[in-house]
Amino acid sequence: MNSDVLEKRYRMLLRAYPAGYRRERADELLDTLIGDEPTIRRWPSVREAASLVRGGLRVYGGSAAPRPTAVLLWQGVHLGAVAVLALGVLIGLDDILEALRYGGLSDPLTVLRNQGVHEVVLIAALVALVAGRARTAAVLAVAAAVVPTMISQYLFLNGLPQWWAPVVAAPLIVLGLRRPADVPPAPRANAVLVTAGILALHLIPAGGLRMVDTGPRIAAAAMVIVGVAAFLWVATADQRLLIAVVPTLLLGTLHQLDNSGMTGELLRRPDALPSLVVAVLMAVVAIVSTRQRQRTRA
């Protein structure tokens, strides 16, 4: 009876793996985990649970693919395009709500002209890319940078991150169109989860480190440490995140370069440039290490 309960709980943990991998390897993994001897255990150990989750993340990241480096690179580029568009949408919505809150309701047409048109086209590009319509998404990404700027130069002249989002995403989407036939596309549900994780990383209140009061600074520092540690725990297993996070950090850096004196933006982070450099270095290390493992396995 205990073995049946333990097996059920192991099977729940094995849901961290892709469905195809579970169909092929689930029984083998369960035999290794449970063994043939009777057991009184009813729960997997914390170490086993963490190992299974990380194992699932590695498989999603391409570790079991015939060409793991190609999967890492091409799916990472695709996930980066999705993430940077999603971050642009998030920032745009935040700015629109702020504009409406502080006087925009008296002149909503101006808010629509300055920010709303861009937001609508950017959302359309994101939806098209998530739906697998990469060519349509590429056209819409270019349109999100060009068409709203022709209507109003508010976002462009202020160098806001949401204006940079389609500029950064468009070449990534176009590059993704060259994905080799033997590299599968990133699973849609997995891409949504990866994007949510990257967005959560950007919502860490790093700006709170500049506050004068000790209490909020300590709380902000604790949240930064916990958030970055959680992200790195996942990203060192599914290393596509190390590729995908780079273009999103680029938005903060571009915004700082254009508006070094402005404050209060969602991505106004004091660590934007250093974090971008670190992200690029981690992405390079991920590609090199994956390539070395591929050569060793061959």
Backbone angle region of 238, left / alpha / beta, with phi > 0 → left and psi within -120 to 50 → alpha? beta
Whole-number pLDDT of residue 103: 73
CA atoms within 13 A on the CB side of 175: 14
Cβ-contact 235, 276 below 8 angstroms = no
The one-letter amino acid code at 101 reads: R
Q: Is 45 inside a domain boundary? A: no
The neighbour count for residue 206, using CB atoms within 10 Å, is 22
Q: Is 293 inside a domain boundary? A: yes
Greater confidence, 211 or 106?
Answer: 106
Q: Is 63 inside a domain boundary? A: no
Tokens 């204006």 appear where? Answer: 163
Q: Is 50 inside a domain boundary? A: no
Greater confidence, 277 or 209?
Answer: 277
Q: How confident is the model at residue 280 (pLDDT cuts 50, 70, 90)?
A: confident
Cβ-contact 238, 56 below 8 angstroms = no
Residue (of 69, 9, 37) closest to 283 by Cα position:
69
Tell me how many degrees the CA angle 169-192-116 measures, rounded to the nearest 5.
55
Q: Is 159 inside a domain boundary? A: yes
Whole-number pLDDT of residue 273: 61
User: How far is the C-alpha of 291 from the C-alpha of 107, rounded, in Å?
Assistant: 55
pTM of the model: 0.85
How high does pLDDT run on average in the chain?
A: 83
- Those residues whose C-beta lies under 8 Å from the C-beta of residue 119, and which sit 6 or more positions away, are 89, 92, 93, 96, 162
Q: What is the pLDDT of residues 72-130, one digit of tens each?
A: 999 999 999 999 999 999 999 988 888 888 776 777 888 888 899 999 999 999 999 99
Whole-number pLDDT of residue 266: 44
How many domains does the chain fold into? 1
Q: Is 232 inside a domain boundary? A: yes
Q: Is 10 inside a domain boundary? A: no
The one-letter amino acid code at 165 reads: A
Q: How confident is the model at residue 293 (pLDDT cuts 50, 70, 90)?
A: confident
Residue (of 124, 112, 116) closest to 86 by Cα position:
124
For the cut 90, the answer to whether the pLDDT of residue 6 exceeds it is no
User: How far is the C-alpha of 232 from the C-alpha of 105, rounded, in Å?
Assistant: 41
Greater confidence, 101 or 238?
Answer: 238
Residue 175 domain boundaries:
68-297
Q: Is 27 inside a domain boundary? A: no
Tell me how many degrees the CA angle 88-61-236 measures, rounded to the nearest 5.
80
Whole-number pLDDT of residue 263: 43
